[in-house]
Structure 1
Amino acid sequence: MDTLGLVESRSIAAGVNLADGMVKVAQVELVRAGTICSGRYFICLGGDRQAVQTAVSHAEQSGSALAGSYVISGVSPQVLAVLKKSVQPGTPGALGVVECRTVSAGIAAADAAVKRSGISLLRLVTGQGINGKSYFVFSGDVASVQEAADAAKTALGRHLIESVVIARPDASVVRALTSGVR
């Protein structure tokens, strides 16, 4: 799987219908689909670029109200790992947190940040329990974290809520952000 397609529907019922249509119109794998806060439905699918583009175009041309749609080619292995929740954080020199208005924009921005700078993506929180928003957490040296945060801001545009870079974060803060306070 080299490409991800992300579609965020403003309606749950329409989202279910879109997911069904998307997997029928192209040879794609449904990676994740389900409700997120604010009554939205999030669809994440993977496959080769042409198939994913066909499926996302189907959703975009459906007439359904979408909160976002993206096609990410050459998706970063770090983004795939964090979506599967298989990341173990170390002790970072700096920590970055970027908060986004939508789930789909957050995943696209995380991919842009990872590709732009030598950071480690630690966590990606997608929509549930946070009113349909998303945020991602990453670490590295201060310069790399700042460069990644800047790349995310550029990628997000109006979908950016807030971005912070924390030099020498306390270990308890890192634990809280990546796996809960222990």
Structure 2
Amino acid sequence: MRRAIGLLEVKNITKGILVADAMLKAANVDLILSQPMCPGKYIVMVGGDVGAVKSSVQSGKNVGGTENIVDEFVLPNIHGDVFRALSGCTEVTQINSLGIIESYSVASAIVAADAAAKTAVVQLLEVRLARGMGGKALVSLTGEVGAVKAAIRAGCQIIQDSGFLVDQLVIAAPHHSLHQSLF
């Protein structure tokens, strides 16, 4: 059995809390994150065995109602760097080239970060989740320019069809002052 994470992004806070409760009661999962986000959305992230996470997410959707779900995912084998990027614990010593994906949903940004990290040898810098950004989320990463381009392309491809992709960017050699202002 592999470890997995699942997330529901809910349109409002009260439904989000209800969804969190249902998800935790439905299966043997660990609560990773349960909190409000801008602009009044709520996210719930759980972890555990794949089957338990799938069951938990489905129960949350059933209780919350599909009309209240902004986005969702179940990732059965998440890349380890995603957790450091989510918590802001990535130590940034140097940015070679910089890649950024901007998304309208928290869930799609995490899925994009996972796809990017699995595609090329890059370092995830941060997955910034909708705080003070009008509900948008950002994925930032660094590495050699070719790897960054491949990772950004893969991350964007995974979310493009959902309509949540806002924009993407690759800067081959960002100015050192930009590094200081971003991280």
Shorter-normalised TM-score: what interval?
over 0.9
**Which residue pairs with 1:106 in the alignment?**
109
TM-score normalised to structure 2 length: 0.93
The 1-side partners of 2:20 and 2:8 are apart by: 9
Alignment partner, residue 62 of structure 2:
61
Contact kept, 8 Å, 1:2 with 1:49, in 2: the verdict is yes
Runs (5+) with no aligned partner, structure 1: none
Equivalent residue, structure 1, for 2:145: 142
Identical residues among aligned pairs (%) = 30
Ranges of 4+ aligned residues in structure 1 off by more than 4 Å: none
1:122–1:137 contact (8 Å) kept in structure 2: yes
- Distance in 2, matches of 1:88 and 1:24, equals 36
How far 1:82 sits from its partner (Å)?
A: 1.4
Query: Within 5 Å, which residues of 2 pair with 1:163-182?
Result: 163-178=168-183
What residue is the counterpart of 2:51 in the other structure? Answer: 50
Q: Residue 80 of structure 1: CA displacement?
A: 1.1
Residue 24 of structure 2 aligns with which residue?
23
Deviation of the 1:98 alpha carbon: 0.7
| TM-score relative to the length of structure 1 | 0.94
- Unaligned regions of 5+ residues in structure 2, if any? none
Distance 1:164 1:82 in 2: 18
Q: SS of the residue aligned with 1:43?
A: strand
Q: Does 2:132 align with 1:129?
A: yes
Q: CA deviation at 1:171?
A: 1.6
SS in 1 for 2:169: strand
Distance (whole Å) between structure 2 residues aligned to residue 47 and residue 83 of structure 1: 18
Greater shift in the superposed pair: 5-14 or 89-98: 89-98
Partner SS, residue 61 of structure 1: helix
CA displacement, residues 51-99 of structure 1 (integer Å, 9 cap, x when unaligned): 1110111122232510001001111110011122211112222100110
Question: Partners of 1:171 and 1:72 in 2: how far apart?
Answer: 35
RMSD (CA atoms) = 1.2
- Answer whether contact 2:7 2:46 (CA < 8 A) is retained: yes
